[in-house]
Chain A
Amino acid sequence: MEKPVWIGGVGMISAIGNSVPEALQAIEQGKSGIGPMRWLPSAHKDVFPVAEVKLSNGDLADYTGMPCGITRTALLGVAAATEAFKSIEHLLHPTFKTGLLSATTVGGMDKTTHFFKEFLKNQSGGRLRNVVYHECGSPTELVAEKLGIRDFITTISTACSSSANSIMMAARMIQHGMLDVAIAGGVDALSTFTLNGFNTLMILDKAYCRPFDNSRNGLNLGEGAAFLVLLSESALKTMGIEPLCRISGWHNATDAYHQTASSPDGIGSCIAMRGALEKARLQPEDIGYINVHGTGTVNNDQSEGTAMKQIFGEKMPRFSSSKSFTGHTLGASGGLEAVLSVLALKHGLIYPNLRFSTPIEGLGLVPETHFQTGVDIRHVLSNSFGFGGNCTSLLFSKN
């Protein structure tokens, strides 16, 4: 029997709220966080809707007690990590080894862009304080120092599956006895770099995204951060708290089809989902809900849906894409969706997939469209797939 890894707390900030209770309320009310661009300084302001966190950098600095000149990535990271950490911080034993495992795709790119505008005019131009947080590890260290975590600090970057991989690494390190407590997840702030990059790939929808709908035509970018508190069995006992659930399975695989597109048969996602089930020693019919990757691009949903059909056949579990609320938050998405999966399990919740009307031709998959409570769910699967073919599935189970 493998050592269990428990989930002891969660925290998230996204376009649908600055905390977990705010996010759940927005979902219950069917309020999407996607809307016109307000803070991101882009030439495409009136063209593409985005899912921004509804706080300026100044507001975020006040909210987190951090200086406002730092990268938005760190401000978002501190907000979510603090919410997760504060639920257990007072229970930490001095002998516990505690780690922070974060993930991001572009680190402090928001500030770097400001720097680079001046630098391009003149190589002695641009304020160095705007480029000092560029590296992916830099926002992680600001979060670690704010929380006072020293024992293990790392950052993973595997595009849109980044934070699923940081959560997986945290679970493995706890199983290996290297950590007692791990704060794991990820963060990305919106940046014009990413917005323009996705625009060149022609996968941004000018309308609100419609995951798994036949008329889907691309994704909406979002921003946010989410962290989970992972605990070893002995840490849980010492702390004497009731866990939210446990992380029972995980698997990382590669699609190896194209640098940015998913294979038509979804081989990478199929291996990831099967691997997570195998790790948890579960059968497909044990799964009560899938929080799908579901970006709303023609390619992803076709590929992911095909893989799901290969595994679940006609007995498709309930599923939905929370990106219809939060947008695609890239390096944070695996974390946000892991938090929502944990809450679905704990409270018996099913989240609606907004703006769905017609199933994808040839697949016929119908996501959940209504918010439901009191549903008996024992196991939840969360999918995260990314550029480079990186596919990771996480599985959460009731105690």
Chain B
Amino acid sequence: MHTFIHGTGVIAPYLPGKDNPLPAPDSQPRLRCIEPDYKQLIDTRLLRRMSRVVRMGTAAALTSMKDACVEMPEAIITATAYGCTEDTETFLTKMIVQNEQMLTPTAFIQSTHNTIAGQIALMLKCHAYNNTFTHRAFSFEHALLDAMLLLQEGEISNVILGAVDEMQDTRFKILERFGLYKRAVQQGPWGDPAQRDSPGTIAGEGATFFVLSTSPPAASNICIKDVRTFFKPGDMQPNILAFLAEHHLKPSDIGLLLWGKNGDARYDGVYDETARGLFDTNPVFSFKRLCGEYPVATAYATWLAAFILQGREMPAGLLPAGLQAPGHVLIYNHFYNIHHSLILLSAC
């Protein structure tokens, strides 16, 4: 059974369009989302109470529903590794500074990881299935798996699936101390991460939502075929071959490999070792040059794969030369060589 994409809603550092510049870091090694005018999408009274990550998530979810012409979802599933950091920080700070006295509930209420999924349900008065996965760089993959299983179970016909993580200043500062990000940032658009040879990456963020269904939409035949996660797998080659074989595919059938190179010289070699001998001649693109590194970046990659499979226009020279209608796109990501994942999309 295939899982078709009926609609999408994306807030990201980059969306393809002829006037949209390629994303560039500012004074810090991070790519920031280009945010829409939320007032067009969300009631201003609600908007005032929402933190940035909740705005991003609900706006992307509502956009995906409009795109799919779905008014009431039959399930809402979200993924977030970081959760609602801004409200968590607000409450934690006041709690410490005010010695646990005179606190107000709003930030606490909106600090839980299921805030976005709950908020969407509340706005729509949707009593359906509602779940949130929060397992680091498996969060989106497992939310997608849950969505695919629900659709296979056959009791519902559509699912709203989304992944949201924001890079907020405090989190950036703390993760920077762990040595995750590059020390020096060059001006101008971030080039292909695959060509960088220093430690650290560039932080990213995004909200990516999909409306999924088992029936094909009228205008498209793009489907998500499968998703798989691997915890500290060591050699990924046998896993990739077995995964493709389950779908009667060989590495040479993959028209485009979207891999998660993030420019960190300490970890990007894992991609080269894995691809060597499997994907030597396949067109390859590093999707993180468009979205930066964050735990649910594979949701953006999934959106990008669907965009390319639909044959929609990308800026000249961005994608690998000679890329034809790819047929099958494989997303291969690893997060610090701990969390590895594969997502397969096809024109069915």
Contacts and interface: CB of A to CB of B under 8 A. Distances in A.
Interface string A152-173: 1111111100000100010011
Interface stretch (A9-17, A85-93, A195-203, A209-217): A195-203
Nearest to B152: A176
B114 interface: yes
B34 interface: no
A112 B171 CA distance: 12
A259 B118 contact: yes
A113 interface: yes
Contacts of A152: 229
Interface residues of B, number: 57
A137 B231 contact: no
A19 interface: no
Contacts of B146: 169
B153 interface: yes
B136 A196 contact: no
B177 A254 contact: no
Interface stretch (B58-66, B90-98, B267-275): B90-98
A252 interface: yes
Interface string B72-98: 000010000111000010011101110
B96 A117 contact: yes
A193 B91 contact: yes
Nearest to B105: A200
B105 A154 contact: no
A19 B101 CA distance: 36
A252 B131 contact: yes
Contacts of A199: 103
Interface stretch (B16-24, B122-130, B242-250, B281-289): B122-130
A114 B248 CA distance: 52
A144 B135 CA distance: 13
B105 A252 contact: no
A152 B232 CA distance: 11
A200 B101 contact: no
B142 interface: yes
Interface of B: 76, 81-83, 88, 91-93, 95-97, 99-101, 103-105, 108-115, 117-119, 121-122, 124-136, 138-139, 142, 146, 149, 152-153, 173-174, 177-178, 229, 231-232
7 contacts: A144-B231, A153-B138, A157-B83, A158-B117, A172-B149, A176-B152, A259-B119
Interface of A: 42-44, 105, 112-113, 116-117, 119-120, 123-124, 128, 131-132, 135-138, 140-141, 144, 150, 152-159, 165, 169, 172-173, 176, 192-193, 196-197, 199-201, 252-260, 267-268, 271, 386-390
